[in-house]
Structure 1
Amino acid sequence: MSDWLIYRGTGDADHDRIRTLPPPPPWRTFEGGPVVPAAPPIDAVSKRRLGQTHAPLPTQDEEALHLINAALYLRRPLLVTGEPGSGKSTLAHAVAHELGLGRVLQWPVVSRTELKDGLYTYDAVGRLQDVQLSRENDGSRSEGPEDDIGRYIRLGPLGTALLPSELPRVLLIDELDKSDLDLPNDLLNALEEGEFGLPELERIADRPGKGAVEVLDDDGRRVPVHGGRVRCRAFPFVVMTSNGERDFPAPLLRRCIHLELDPPRDERLAAMVQAHFGAGSDERNLDLISLFTQGAGSGELRPTDQLLNAIFLTQYAAREERDSREDIADLLMRPLDQRQR
Structure 2
Amino acid sequence: MVDNTDWYVYRGTGRVAAHPVAALPEAPPWRRFPGTGEASRPTDDGGEGDRRVGRTAVPRVPHPDEVAMVNAALLLRRPLLVTGDPGTGKSTLAHLIARELGLGPVLRWPVTSRTTLKDGLYFYDAIGRVRAAGGGPGDADIGDYIHLGPLGTALLPYDLPRVLLIDELDKGDIDLPNDLLNVFEEGEYPIPELVRIAGSHPEVRVLTHDTGGEAVIRGGVVRCREFPVVVITSNGEREFPPAFLRRCLRLHVEPPDHEQLGRMVAAHFDDTHGVDVAGLIRRFLERREEVGGGLAADQLLNGVHLAVRLATSGAYRADDDLPAVLEAIWHPLQAESG
Query: Does the TM-score normalized on the shorter chain lie above 0.5?
Result: yes
Partner SS, residue 18 of structure 1: coil
> Could you tell me which of 12, 15, 35 is aligned with 2:15?
12
> Could you tell me which of 285, 288, 292 is aligned with 2:280?
288
1:1-341 equivalent positions in 2, closer than 5 A: 2-4=4-6, 5-14=8-17, 16=19, 18-58=21-61, 60-132=62-134, 145-207=138-200, 210-219=201-210, 220-278=212-270, 284-297=276-289, 299-317=292-310, 319-327=315-323, 328-337=325-334
Counterpart contact for 1:39–1:169, Cα < 8 Å:
no
Alpha-carbon offset, residue 202 of structure 1: 0.4
Alpha-carbon offset, residue 118 of structure 1: 0.4
Once the two structures are aligned, what percentage of the paired residues are identical?
49
Q: Distance in 1 between matches of 2:119 and 2:67?
A: 31
Partner SS, residue 21 of structure 2: helix
Amino acid at match of 1:330: E
Q: Flag structure 1 segments of 5+ consecutive residues without an equivalent.
A: 136-143
Counterpart contact for 2:258–2:282, Cα < 8 Å:
no
Alpha-carbon offset, residue 22 of structure 1: 1.7
Amino acid at match of 1:269: L
1:283–1:66: structure 2 CA closer, same or farther, 3 Å change rule? farther
Partner SS, residue 98 of structure 2: helix
1:306–1:282: structure 2 CA closer, same or farther, 3 Å change rule? farther
Q: Flag structure 2 segments of 5+ consecutive residues without an equivalent.
A: none
Amino acid at match of 1:324: D
Counterpart contact for 1:42–1:97, Cα < 8 Å:
no
1:73–1:174: structure 2 CA closer, same or farther, 3 Å change rule? same
Amino acid at match of 2:166: I
Aligned length: 329
1:91-117 Cα shifts (integer Å, max 9, x gaps):
101111111100110110000000000
Q: Distance in 2 between matches of 1:110 and 1:321?
A: 42
Q: Distance in 1 between matches of 2:148 and 2:309?
A: 44
Counterpart contact for 1:38–1:166, Cα < 8 Å:
no
Give the CA RMSD over aligned residues: 2.2
Alpha-carbon offset, residue 3 of structure 1: 4.6
Partner SS, residue 107 of structure 1: strand
Q: Which has the larger helix fraction? A: 1
1:340–1:55: structure 2 CA closer, same or farther, 3 Å change rule? farther
Alpha-carbon offset, residue 64 of structure 1: 1.1
Q: Distance in 2 between matches of 1:2 and 1:274?
A: 28
1:67–1:176: structure 2 CA closer, same or farther, 3 Å change rule? same
- TM-score w.r.t. length of structure 2: 0.91
Partner SS, residue 317 of structure 1: helix
1:276-309 Cα shifts (integer Å, max 9, x gaps):
1137779940111001111455632111111100
Partner SS, residue 294 of structure 1: helix
